[in-house]
Amino acid sequence: MPLHELILGGARSGKSRCAEARAAAWLAQPGQRATLLATAEAGDDEMRARIAQHRADRAARVPRLCTREEPLALPEALESATPEHLLVVDCLTLWLTNLHLPLHGTPLADAQAREHALLAALAAARGPVVLVSNEIGLGVMPVSREARQFVDALGRLHQRVAAQCARVTLMVAGIEVPVQGAR
């Protein structure tokens, strides 16, 4: 069974850099490949600038890490994992947002089916997968019904993904805190 890892943390906690470090270590081994599956969609100029900055920073830190934009088709993208090909998902939070609270249009009617498809794809992945996500359940309960539903949905997804991962890491102020499994 391939080694999967879930890396959780708050905004600017270092979770993406941690995932990039995992990819860099993987790529340091002969014959290995790695692809980052990016889930963000730009809805405004500030988000476009953030995405561009992330791309530039990632390219500078891990030049051999390929990037593929996958805002919705994440379950299908996990099929490309092989024993020699690490996949890094950055991030589950934005993927779930794209399903439940899309920038354009209405929420996907089959959002829960897509979540189940992701879990099935992760279980079937023939190679290692590192998944990044925001731990948003530590703060104040949101006021709106939609926000509370999203916090609940993301928390449930984290639990299900963590159950399929050999390692779970919580990032706090740039420091890795092992939650499950050893590094």
Active site residues: 54
> Alpha-carbon distance 177 to 63, whole Å?
26
Angle in degrees, 0-180, between the axes of helices 145-162 and 92-100, rounded to the nearest 10: 130
Q: Which two tokens stand for residue 61?
A: 């830190």
Alpha helices, DSSP H only, in the chain? Answer: 15-27, 45-61, 74-77, 92-100, 111-124, 145-162
User: Hunting for tokens 């850099």 — which residue is that?
Assistant: 17
Could you give the maximum distance between any two Cα atoms of the chain, in Å?
51
